[in-house]
Homo-oligomer: A and B are copies of this chain.
Amino acid sequence: MFDVFKRPKVRIEVPRLKQRRPPALTERVNLAELTPEIVPYLGQAAYIQLSVFESLARAVMLAPNVGAKELLGPAAGFALGKHEMLTAELRRLVAEPSSVIEPFAPAIDRYAAEIRGADWFESLTSIYLTAGILDDFFVLLATGLEGDVGPRAARIVAGDDGRQVIVTMLSDAMSADSMLSSRLALWGRRLVGDTLLVARSAIHHSGNPQNDEQRIEPVFTELIAKHSRRMDGLGLTA
């Protein structure tokens, strides 16, 4: 048998003229310029995790069987845990975390209703893709926060999310129903715009819109690249 599939591994070893790893986003963009104050950052990040928890709890409730509930339960628990850890960070800085979080609720609730989807599969797709984008974004933003809150917040948001089970659940469903794939591919693309608007709402604006756009653009490029990889992982075309 020809060993064709192993050859590229060898070819990768030839010397290259170009740098192999592009510089990290944090080396290219001064994220501190985009970063909001610590308190509103934590308030918005905390409410987003609560919203992800609510979406996952809803997916547990609507799951067609106990096996699916079992798979999604831990993901709901992780989102709730992240919410509680971010709220605990906020409690170190302010007396009443809920008063900081509350102003972010209406916009996130409207967004959550828009991305809810028409059925359980669209809901799962939304949770996997949008929570992925928003977690990536809030981890990036955290690198611009002053003091030791930034690294702690980044570790909280980047922690285990338990959402990988969604990939298997959706892949199984799509392999049994080819119409579902094309519907979810459309749905996955549709989610990006609304989600990037939420991300944009978290950014500190300098007052110079053109300058802001230049700084935001590479961040969004990175978020969309990672989103495309998640779409690929689901077997959907981004």
Q: What CA separation (Å) do A101 and B65 show in the bound complex?
A: 10
Whether A77 lies near B84 (C-beta < 8 A) is yes
CA distance A67 to B98 in the complex (A): 5
Q: Which B residues lie within 8 Å of A67 (CB)?
A: 96, 98, 102
**Interface size band for A:** 20 to 34
| Interchain CB contact under 8 A, B50 and A102 | no
Q: Does the CB pair B60–A47 fall under 8 Å?
A: no
Chain A residues numbered 48-99 whose CB sits less than 8 Å from any CB in chain B: 50, 53-54, 57-58, 60-61, 65-67, 69-70, 73-74, 76-77, 80-81, 83-84, 87, 96-98
Q: Which of B50, B65, B77, B102 contacts A80 (CB 8 A)?
A: B77
The 7 A-B residue pairs whose C-beta atoms are closest, nearest first, are A57-B57, A67-B98, A66-B98, A66-B102, A66-B101, A54-B61, A77-B80
Query: Chain B residue with minimal CB distance to A60?
Result: B54
- Residue contact B81 to A77, C-beta cutoff 8 Å: yes
Known contacts A60-B57, A61-B54; A84/B76 CB under 8 A: no
A105 beta carbon closer than 8 Å to chain B: yes
Give the Cβ gap from A49 to chain B, nearest Cβ, in Å: 10
CA distance A231 to B76 in the complex (A): 31
Q: Which residues of B contact A73 (CB under 8 A)?
A: 50, 53, 80, 83-84
A69 surroundings in chain B (CB, below 8 A):
50, 98
Contacts of A77 in B (CB 8 A): 77, 80-81, 84
Taken residue by residue from 105 to 116, chain A's Cβ proximity to chain B (1 for < 8 Å, 0 otherwise) reads as 100000000000
| Inter-chain contacts of A98 with B (CB < 8 A) | 65-67, 69-70
